[in-house]
Amino acid sequence: MLNLVNIYKNEFSKTKKSLGQHFLINQHYIEKILDATSVSKDSRILEIGPGCGALTVKILERGADLTAIEIDAVLVDFLKRYLYFYPNFKIIHSDFTKIDKSLLDGKYNLVGNLPYYVSVPILEKCTELIENINTMTFMFQKEVADRIISTPSKKSYSSLSVFCQYFFDIKKILNISGGNFWPTTKVESTVLHFIPKKRQFDVDEKDFLNLVKLSFSAKRKMLKNNLNSIIDTNLIDEFFGRNNVRAEELSVEDFINFYNFLKNAQ
């Protein structure tokens, strides 16, 4: 069995902290992630940030058609050198957040261990590519995952929660402690599984998401304070029956219904 982590350690000895590189090395958790991603010989997988290839090799061994996108030129060269003999493997040297949609033909199951600093931009990019996505299985720092799956009135509930839950049905798969990575880390990670939802809006989507973002702009302030620059705040009382509503109280469905009300009130 090809152990790319050990080979990489021997060649380079360290990872790049600037890119948030911590590679999962526990085979049990790797298999769990592949199962959640539905990796089989019939699947088309897009791996974001394959790193030194611990997950990549397992995907290829299962016979899936794999396209990997990696920002680090050193890792791209490393994976090309050691995985060249897999006909079902293609790697693209690029920043995933900047890829053109034309690079993707058809639908993929996405998988990746997302560094903290770029996890939200990657999720935003995924919403742009949503027509090319069957499912997504991503690993996040636990605090980011907690915000993504949070519910109204919880401290971790935010515009990110609404944004993600508007586009996707999301399921928590498992937590992974920092000792299962190389280099080890004190940060706990969480794996989430995403399935695209039916879109509620078309041309109005940007306006809806802007409303959500503004609603959370000062989290402890009421909607009437956060939205007074874009709406008649009397409409808040008219819709909710009170004017002391805060964004953290509202579900995704509440925001959708409120936006539709505002649109019809114009």
Binding-site residue positions = 22, 24, 49, 70, 95, 113
DSSP 8-state assignment for residue 152: T
CB 97 within 8 A of CB 71: no
Cα–Cα dist 21/75, whole Å? 11
Cα–Cα dist 22/16, whole Å? 9
CB 109 within 8 A of CB 55: no
Per the annotation, where are the binding residues for S-adenosyl-L-methionine?
22, 24, 49, 70, 95, 113
Name the residue among 40, 39, 50 with its Cα closest to residue 4.
Answer: 50
Residue type, 245: V
Separation of CA 34 from chain center: 16
Burial state string for 7-18 with b = 16 or more CB within 10 A and e = fewer than 16: ebbeeeeebeee
CB 43 within 8 A of CB 63: no
CB 202 within 8 A of CB 230: no
Name the residue among 111, 94, 116, 97 with its Cα closest to residue 44.
Answer: 111
**Residue listed under structure tokens 């039916």:** 198
Distance between start and end Cα atoms, the chain: 64
